[in-house]
Structure 1
């Protein structure tokens, strides 16, 4: 099916919930006279993260680190900081949530190109497909990892999936290795073929030229320049670069998959006419899980993505506000007898995700949904 073939429910009760929730969130910002965009704390975080990235990069290419092992450690730390920039700065900007100024969002959103991705593809995959059709098989590419991983009960079950709860973590570490090599090119051709580029008024020729330029710049500054200027042997730089991406991919996989591939998650399927069971807002409640709401350090690093419910309901609001909004969302959901899924710790979220991978790997097609 195409995007336009799907129709969310128009159920009156769900519509009343959606309207009430939006009104209460709007009232929160108006009553407190605050902007839904970034505040001083968010700007400070942006400066800290980008500054840390620049400092680590400078240390690597100038030899400020004294030994090869410290250089490799600096590369791994660079991967962790890169994840923080992606979670916090780039993510909000590409949702138009960082600033009311579209040029600020454009510049900060373009940062994804400097950390291995491609902004054109990311916006289509994440903003359009994932946020519109969360956990819908065949539409949400976040639950489509090819044949190696089975993230959905509708996906074909293969014999080796019984081991996916063991090997998935290694595959997560390869995620951005795929970004910087083949994925972006395959994705761009796929979006051309299925009409998504045209729907977004994007020229394939222009996007392809842009993608080539992005990859050349990325490899030039993050691999070639360190190879040329680092005082250490070439293999130190190469190992460091590979480990940086392994750390980055592993963190991205753990943070995002624990929000949707969970025992409490629904995997809604449309009927033959494209009708979905829930309206868009309730769909997000049914398919999304929060975790570690009391862990402020984790929340700071992952850009509020431990509040995935709030992010999916209000992607155009800067994540710096999610902690406050979570009380409004949970209370409104309870009032309308709708689920609000939240786990106490990140460790618990990882444990349940592991168990869910095992369940899906054993071939389950009907899942026992936990509230």
Structure 2
């Protein structure tokens, strides 16, 4: 996946690419590689499950920074907020969205949400463009107010790191091609944006089809902020697997078709999820608790579209 991401960019930066279609093809290939790095490399590494060696996990976690985002901010968003408060409105940052998107039945509904199942794909495609521009800075500021980055000077240092990594990313992913490629700048910029559009679509549909579907629950805390369900049962009820028999898809998306096992055991590498799923499903059946699974990815995607339509109507 790292090769799929970097090799096309290296070819582009040599200056030998002179045809727009080839430029777009290379950038789009890099986009698929970027998605693969996000799902299959940095995801495990930041969870501490890529390797038993913490140093290996630390440095492979920086692959998140190499694709334009930030590992420190994502660790809070994903490891802390998403995994602790899965599908809980205002708690799970993966479903906290701008006003024109609605991922929870407990979020405020506007008239425009009736059409979100049609226009959401555009915003999924734009999601990583938001990530490489302002999203990390905005979330870092919000997380500071929530009590993260609380040590003396930590927040300022983190902002400098975010800015530094983004400058590095832009330098080899966009600035160098602008200098080397003998094509108009607007074509190069459009090809660069196409790379991110592909990545955004891939990552969004892989994660959202595991949580925002009709079968999953969206629990709400009581007046004291307590969720009634046991944490393990909550994870089972708010998460779904899909395409469990597809070894190719599982390899391609870093085992994230086994989201149930990932949420129960985030510190275990995804290569073990298939075998774990047999144990988890039998245990869930034994204790009569939910174990959600769709037979195919298309079934999961169809369920996601159905849920988006439901959320737009009620």
Within 1, Cα distance between the matches of 2:153 and 2:245? 41
* CA apart distance, 1:51: 2.1
Unaligned residue ranges in structure 1 (runs of 5+): 1-48, 364-371
Q: Aligned-residue CA RMSD in angstroms?
A: 1.3
Instruction: Establish whether residue 333 from structure 1 lines up as the match of residue 297 from structure 2.
Output: no
Question: In the alignment, what sits opposite 1:177?
Answer: 129
CA contact (8 A) 2:18 2:181 kept: no
- For the pair shown, the structure with the greater C-alpha radius of gyration is 1
Residue from 214, 222, 244 that aligns with 1:293: 244
Instruction: Establish whether residue 208 from structure 1 lines up as the match of residue 159 from structure 2.
Output: yes
Question: In the alignment, what sits opposite 1:190?
Answer: 142
TM-score of the superposition, structure 1-length normalised?
Answer: 0.82
* CA apart distance, 1:140: 0.3
* CA apart distance, 1:352: 0.8
* CA apart distance, 1:196: 2.4
Question: In the alignment, what sits opposite 1:366?
Answer: none
Alignment of 1:97-116 (within 5 A): 97-116=49-68
* CA apart distance, 1:52: 2.4
Question: In the alignment, what sits opposite 1:70?
Answer: 22
Within 2, Cα distance between the matches of 1:277 and 1:343? 26
Partner of 1:342, secondary structure, is strand
Instruction: Establish whether residue 244 from structure 1 lines up as the match of residue 158 from structure 2.
Output: no
Alpha-carbon distance change, 334 to 164 in structure 1, aligned in 2, over 3 angstroms: same
CA contact (8 A) 2:241 2:294 kept: yes
Residue from 134, 146, 157 that aligns with 2:98: 146
Instruction: Establish whether residue 167 from structure 1 lines up as the match of residue 102 from structure 2.
Output: no
Partner of 1:330, secondary structure, is helix
CA contact (8 A) 1:62 1:231 kept: no
Instruction: Establish whether residue 320 from structure 1 lines up as the match of residue 271 from structure 2.
Output: yes
Within 1, Cα distance between the matches of 2:215 and 2:279? 21
CA contact (8 A) 2:16 2:181 kept: no
CA contact (8 A) 1:289 1:309 kept: yes
Within 1, Cα distance between the matches of 2:104 and 2:152? 31
Residue from 202, 205, 222 that aligns with 2:173: 222
Within 2, Cα distance between the matches of 1:54 and 1:179? 19
Within 2, Cα distance between the matches of 1:301 and 1:230? 30
Question: In the alignment, what sits opposite 1:89?
Answer: 41
Within 2, Cα distance between the matches of 1:314 and 1:155? 28
Within 2, Cα distance between the matches of 1:258 and 1:233? 38
Question: In the alignment, what sits opposite 1:16?
Answer: none
Alpha-carbon distance change, 82 to 201 in structure 1, aligned in 2, over 3 angstroms: farther
Within 2, Cα distance between the matches of 1:134 and 1:225? 40
Within 2, Cα distance between the matches of 1:236 and 1:245? 15
Partner of 1:361, secondary structure, is helix
* CA apart distance, 1:300: 0.6
Question: In the alignment, what sits opposite 1:357?
Answer: 308
Within 2, Cα distance between the matches of 1:196 and 1:265? 30
CA contact (8 A) 2:124 2:200 kept: yes
* CA apart distance, 1:63: 4.1
CA contact (8 A) 1:61 1:231 kept: no
Unaligned residue ranges in structure 2 (runs of 5+): none
1:20-74 residue CA offsets vs partner (Å, 9 max, x unmatched): xxxxxxxxxxxxxxxxxxxxxxxxxxxxx21222221111112455622011111
Within 2, Cα distance between the matches of 1:63 and 1:348? 43
Partner of 1:143, secondary structure, is coil
Within 1, Cα distance between the matches of 2:21 and 2:15? 12
TM-score of the superposition, structure 2-length normalised?
Answer: 0.97
* CA apart distance, 1:202: 8.1
